Structure 1
Amino acid sequence: MPRIAIASLMILFALAGAGCATRASEPGMLDDAALAAYAAKPFDKRAMMGTTAELGRNHGVSVVAEFPCADVCPQYTVRIIHYRLPEGSDCTAAGGVEKTVAVPVAIAVLPRTFCVPKVLVESGAYYTR
């Protein structure tokens, strides 16, 4: 089975296990508890490296999990959960907090700023190595 298909299935099962829908009438909506539950779960670095997963919408804003990796993969794969803001949107106005994290690139890491859901900021669960 292709790696992308396996990754997609893993995300689907993880989200189903996290109970991501807040109401049956709003499919794809993530409440804070479901988002925190997803972030607290471990992930398979080999299966997820180099992918981006659409998790749903939290407070009306699209949430994604990126799994970048660079030179030593899959060991250095990280997970970054953040809002995917529309062009020109303000992070604070969207209900997020700007956080800068180290993202693996080639044989180094570079700082990159993301708009993170508030519910994940205090625990630091938006960034997992």
Structure 2
Amino acid sequence: MPRITSVVLSILCTLAGAGCATRASEPGLLGDAALKAYAAKPFDKHAMMGQTVELGRNHGLPVVVEFPCADVCPQYTVRIIHYRLPAGADCAAAGGVTKSVAVPVAITVMQKTFCIPAALAADGGYYTR
């Protein structure tokens, strides 16, 4: 009987540990204050250039951070924090603010439109050079 109990406990602990590890790797809920705090922090241009990171969910919408760079990398890497909306969704109806930002492309920049969380739209925290 003790052998069966220890095997069952081992299996339960393994499953619980796997569940925690899976949950820890998933993006979580992200309030406006946490979003502003993230936007206020500096970032490592070399480590992040070319990356796209799922940050979490703000007001039920997925928030992603893009770090595009073009010809002079990593010096020209920028950070753009925005909502990832489903195809055909309206930004304003979802609670976001539509903004056009300069994205590095080749030796120039191109204006690209993003749906920005309202908490970051007013102060420009969604875009960092």
Range of TM-score over shorter length: 0.7 to 0.9
Residues 28-77 of structure 1 show CA distances to partners (whole Å, capped at 9, x for unaligned) of 01000000000000000000000000000000000000000000000000
Q: TM-score normalized by structure 1? A: 0.79
- The secondary structure found in structure 2 opposite 1:71 is coil
Give the secondary structure class of the aligned counterpart of 1:92. Answer: helix
- Equivalent pairs, count: 103
Structure 2 gap ranges (5+): 1-26
Matches within 5 A, 1:49-88: 49-88=49-88
5+ residue gaps, structure 1, are: 1-26
Q: Which has the larger radius of gyration?
A: 2
Runs of 4+ in 1 over 3 A off after TM superposition: none
RMSD of aligned alpha carbons = 0.8
Q: In 2, Cα distance between the equivalents of 1:80 and 1:89?
A: 20
Identity among equivalent positions (%) equals 76
Shift of 1:105: 0.4
Aligned pairs for 1:24-103 within 5 A: 28-103=28-103
Residue 125 in 1 paired to residue 114 in 2?
no
Question: What is the identity, as a one-letter code, of the residue corresponding to 2:57?
Answer: R
Q: Which residue of 1 aligns with 2:111?
A: 111
Deviation at 1:122, TM superposition (A): 1.2
Structure whose residues are more often helix by fraction? 2
In 2: Cα distance, 1:89 partner to 1:57 partner:
16
1:24 aligns with: none
**How far apart are the structure 2 equivalents of 1:98 and 1:85?**
12
TM-score (norm: length of structure 2): 0.79
